[in-house]
Amino acid sequence: MSRRTPYLRIAVPTPLRRAFDYLPGELATDGLAPGMRLRVPFGRTTQVGLLLALAAHSDARRPRPVTACIDRRPLLPASLLALLRWASDYYAHPIGEVVFGALPSLLRQGEPAERRGVEHWRLTCRGAMQEPDRLTRAPRQAALLRLLAEHPEGLSASALNERQDNWRPGMRKLAEKDWVQREQRPALLLPESGPSDEAPALNAEQQAALDGLRTGLGRFGVGLLDGVTGSGKTEVYLGLIGEVLARGRQALVLVPEIGLTPQLLDRFRRRFPVPIAVLHSGLSDRERLDAWLAARDGEAAIVIGTRSAVFTPLARPGVIILDEEHDASFKQQEGFRYSARDVAVKRAQLEDVPVLLGSATPSLETLHNARQGRYAHLRLRERAGTARPPELAVLDVRKQPMSSGLSLALRNAMRRHLDASGQVLLFLNRRGYAPTLLCHDCGWVAQCRRCDAHMTLFAGQKRLRCHHCGSERPADPACPDCKSTALSPVGAGTERLEEALREHFPDTARVRIDRDTTRRKGALQALLDSVHSGEARILVGTQMLAKGHHFPEVTLVGLVDVDQGLFSADFRATERMAQLVTQVAGRAGRAERPGQVLIQTHHPDHPLLQLLLREGYAAFAQAALAERRQANLPPFSHLALLRAEAVDGDLPLRFLRHAREQAETLQVRGVQLLGPIPAPMERRAGRVRAQLLLQADRRADLHRLLGPWLQQLETDRLGRRVRWSIDVDPQEMF
């Protein structure tokens, strides 16, 4: 760098919407490159900053010198730094938070970017000779011995954390006896010994999709793999990854939730004898850093992760694959509100590699892009292997006698399938016992004190909980208004459904899978195991069941209530309902046994529901897109939502009105300002909320407004008295 570029433009982790200029101080600018971390004075503290650029000019009044350098080479490749800067602009989110949010926490804290390995424990050969049952007086040690015997390759500290609370004292005792040993190992899944799985012969559609994708390797392009559940999309991913690995490149695979799809990881491992880095929320800080560095340095051939893994640096990127691209979990809903799907597409463009989006129920945005010819549309219309598509039908429950949400017709169908030794899956997207507690004498309902919402009854009707703010209290024994004790639960959640099943099918083993039953470590796996072993015959669950599981013996799927999705104020509600119905239905009859799907509804004639059932998701999506076009809603227009909340009830609307005026004075054409209005749930967690919607036909217009507007709002006096945030391409409108 020349003498004429003495300023260092640095991202610092702060909510301020800009970078900060510093002087190099004692550092030689020749040795500095964007992507390195530096220690910088910030206010009265020292912070870790990341060098974005060297600049010839600065508007800073009195730039201060940096304190020290941390990295000797850039932490991130230039393409990733470019992606982070793009994301900060596009989502109008402070660069410091974007950059530092993408780094493992040890790097945020200024730790060196070095791999140290992670703590593992395994049995010594003496330990392997011991009989755990003889340790009757040390049950925890015995449990650890058994656990390690099941995992001869050893377990990492975080894997142990997941399986046994407070395992360290017992492990120390075992180590003193020389029965176990500690090792430092890379935070990678390393190839297991033994032969790897052979790929099945692909069917014609799979082969055609793979051939198309193969020719696209080596340059940017977006593919949509649109294949019904069980059509073998994962096989196509695996085939493509095989090709990428053969070319000496890395594959980045993004999935909605790793904890819910352990089978997927196993398939990758069994197919490819290569090191795999897995990035998910259960990692320790050290594991995360090691895995991140293994990806960056090219040692991990495959990187699998959830949403935030889209920012994992790669030494030799070859392809990005995003499975279940429609899934809402790819959108971060607080803080830096980004869509990992959209970021993945941008990243692929910057890295000049292809990106593949896969789903049985693609989002309307993605389908629109495919129809416009921007994305290659690859279809798998048939189920792979011998599996047959399920048969869908509605059950009109109007005027039908119901028992805790179950109609007689559904119960009879369940009995038929159980008698024929099938398994039954009941889906209800509402956990707890009942969504409402009502006084039969005066009409009082249990409300949350902090939100405009009903409390959900749970724990066998003993407690009330608000699903919006998490507050809890014992259920009222009598009505606080009229003192009547005639309080009754209204509606049914999964807990109540399970109770009803105990009554109607007393001799049939069942499991319930929702956030409440799977909170404990290892609980989900235990429940899934009892389904796969065939011990449990009925499964009740929420949308956790809709994600990627294979239940080959399930022959009947009952959707207990889809009516919520049909008449919501949110314009995306029907799309979500259709995706959920299709995904849940896809769990049935995946093996040789054909499946049946029954949908209970009070609105059997709802046109979109009818279309979905008669002609399938693609026809539904086409009609839904036509509706969106008519209403000029995304993907036919572009939205941003400015939200504000405060304890003081007047402030949010006042601030947003003021924000609207500010936007108007900027006179950017092509942007409509709608509102402000109170949020659909006006009070939440004790705060009053409001929102201002921005709508534009052209995205560029929206972005031309956002930059200068938010800069103004940041220094606004009223703005400091409320909590506000901007959501570009919002997915939720509350």
Q: Is 327 in the site for ligand ADP (CB under 6 A)?
A: no
Q: Which of 9, 16, 24, 7 minimizes the C-alpha distance to 43?
A: 16
Q: What are the structure tokens assigned to 219, written together?
A: 């340059």
For the bound state, the minimum distance from the C-beta of residue 288 to ligand ADP, rounded and expressed in Å, comes to 27
Site string for ligand ADP, 104-133 (x = CB under 6 A): ------------------------------
The answer to whether residues 620 and 581 touch, using CB atoms and an 8 Å cutoff, is no
**DSSP β-ladder status, 723-728 and 510-513:** unpaired
Smallest gap from residue 583 Cβ to ligand ADP (A): 10
Q: Which among ligand ADP, Zn ion, none contacts residue 230 (Cβ within 5 to 8 A by kind)? A: ligand ADP
In terms of CB distance, is 203 or 530 closer to ligand ADP? 203
**Which SS3 state, helix, strand or coil, does residue 669 take?**
coil
Q: How far is the CB of 497 from Zn ion (least distance, A)?
A: 24
Q: How far is the CB of 734 from Zn ion (least distance, A)?
A: 13
- Smallest separation, CB 384 to ligand ADP (Å): 3
Instruction: Count the site residues for ligand ADP by CB under 6 A.
Output: 15
Q: Is the dihedral of CA 279, 285, 290, 295 positive or negative?
A: positive
With CB under 5 to 8 Å by kind, the binding choice for 484 among ligand ADP, Zn ion, none is Zn ion
One of 203, 284, 637, 662 touching ligand ADP (CB under 6 A): 203
Q: Which residue in 135, 448, 500, 642 binds Zn ion (CB under 5 A)?
A: 448
Q: Which of 379, 356, 380 is nearest to 244 (CA)?
A: 356
Name the strands in the sheet holding 376-380, side by side, starting at the edge strand that comes first in the sequence: 276-279, 302-305, 250-254, 317-323, 354-359, 221-227, 376-380
- Shortest reach from residue 116's CB to ligand ADP, in Å: 36
Number of helices (H), then strands (E), in the chain: 21, 33
Minimum gap (Å) between residue 250 Cβ and ligand ADP:
21
Minimum CB distance to ligand ADP smaller for 205 or for 287: 205
Closest approach of Cβ 270 to ligand ADP, in Å? 11
Q: Site size for Zn ion, by CB under 5 A? A: 14
**Binder of residue 384, out of ligand ADP, Zn ion, none (CB less than 5 to 8 A by kind):** ligand ADP
Closest CB 206 distance from ligand ADP, rounded Å: 6
DSSP 174-211: HHHTTSEEEEEE-SSBPPPSSPPPPPPPP-HHHHHHHH
Q: Does 202 help bind ligand ADP (rule: CB under 6 A)?
A: yes
The CA distances from residue 107 to 76, 158, 284, 608, in Å, are 12, 19, 13, 49
Task: State yes or no: residue 463 binds Zn ion (CB under 5 A).
Answer: no
- Pick 364 or 479: Cβ nearer Zn ion: 479
Contacts of 365 (CB under 8 A, 6+ apart): 634, 635
Q: Which residues in 380-439 contact Zn ion (CB under 5 A)?
A: 439
Q: What is the nearest approach in angstroms of ligand ADP to the Cβ of residue 385?
A: 3
> Considering Cα of 545, then 546, then 549, then 555, what sign does the dihedral take?
positive
Q: Which stretch binds Zn ion (CB under 5 A): 22-30, 235-243, 443-451, 594-602?
A: 443-451
Q: How far apart are CA 201 and CA 198, in angstroms?
A: 9
Asked if residue 217 lies in contact with residue 318, where contact means CB atoms within 8 angstroms, the answer is yes
Q: What residues pair up with 282 in beta bridges, in sequence order?
A: none
Which range in 198-206, 527-535, 597-605, 699-707 contacts ligand ADP by CB under 6 A? Answer: 198-206
Q: Hey, which residues between 477 and 496 contact Zn ion (CB under 5 A)?
A: 479, 481-482, 484
Q: Which of residues 206-235 bind ligand ADP (CB under 6 A)?
A: 206, 227, 229-235
Read off the DSSP letter of residue 720. Answer: G
Nearest to 214 by CA among 193, 240, 176: 240
Does 444 bind Zn ion (CB under 5 A)? Our answer is yes
The CA distance from 555 to 532, in Å, is 13
* Residue that the structure tokens 């055609």 belong to: 208
Chosen from Zn ion, ligand ADP, none, partner binding at 482 (C-beta under 5 to 8 Å by type): Zn ion
Residues 381-440 that bind ligand ADP (CB under 6 A): 384-385
Instruction: Indicate the residue among 154 and 493 with the shorter CB distance to Zn ion.
Output: 493
CB of 225 to ligand ADP, least distance (A): 8
44-70 b/e (C-beta count within 10 Å ≥ 16 → b) = eeebbbbbbbbeeeeeeeeeeebbebb
368 binds, among Zn ion, ligand ADP, none (CB under 5 to 8 A by kind): none
φ and ψ at 600, to 5 degrees? Answer: -85, 130
Kindly list the distances between the CA atom of residue 165 and the CA atoms of 123, 160, 533, in Å, as whole numbers in the listed order.
Answer: 19, 8, 27
202 binds, among Zn ion, ligand ADP, none (CB under 5 to 8 A by kind): ligand ADP
Nearer Cβ to Zn ion, position 64 or 450?
450
Work out the widest C-alpha separation in the chain, in whole angstroms: 84
158 binds ligand ADP (CB under 6 A): no
In the complex with Zn ion, which residue's Cβ is closer, 111 or 441?
441
In the complex, which residues of this chain contact Zn ion (CB under 5 A)?
A: 439, 441-442, 444, 448, 450-451, 466, 468-469, 479, 481-482, 484
Interaction site with ligand ADP (CB under 6 A)? 200-203, 206, 227, 229-235, 384-385
